[in-house]
Amino acid sequence: MVVVGSGVAGLTAALRCEAAGLTTVVVTKARLDDGSTRWAQGGIAAALGDGDTPEQHLDDTLVAGAGLCDEEAVRILVTEGPDAVRRLIATGAHFDESAEGGLALTREGGHHRRRIAHAGGDATGAEISRALVDAVRARGLRTVENALVLDLLTDAEGRTAGVTLHVMGEGQHDGVGAVHAPAVVLATGGMGQVFSATTNPAVSTGDGVALALRAGAEVSDLEFVQFHPTVLFLGPDAEGQQPLVSEAVRGEGAHLVDADGVRFMQGQHELAELAPRDIVAKGIMRRMRERNTEHMYLDARHFGAEMWERRFPTILAACRAHGIDPVTEPVPVAPAAHYASGGVRTDSRGRTTVPGLYACGEVACTGVHGANRLASNSLLEGLVYAERIAADIAARRGGQEPPA
Residues with catalytic function: 277
Cβ atoms of residues 373 and 339 within 8 Å = yes
DSSP annotation string for 154-175: E-TTS-EEEEEEEE-STTS--E
Q: How far apart are CA 342 and CA 303, in angstroms?
A: 36
Distances (CA, A) of 366 to 17, 28, 160: 20, 22, 20
Cβ atoms of residues 187 and 211 within 8 Å = no
- Determine the straight-line distance between the first and last CA of the chain, rounded to whole angstroms: 21
CA of residue 261 relative to chain centroid, distance: 32
Cβ atoms of residues 283 and 268 within 8 Å = yes
Mapped onto helix, strand or coil, the DSSP state of residue 315 is helix
CA of residue 311 relative to chain centroid, distance: 20
Q: How far apart are CA 303 and CA 35, in angstroms?
A: 31
CA of residue 59 relative to chain centroid, distance: 20
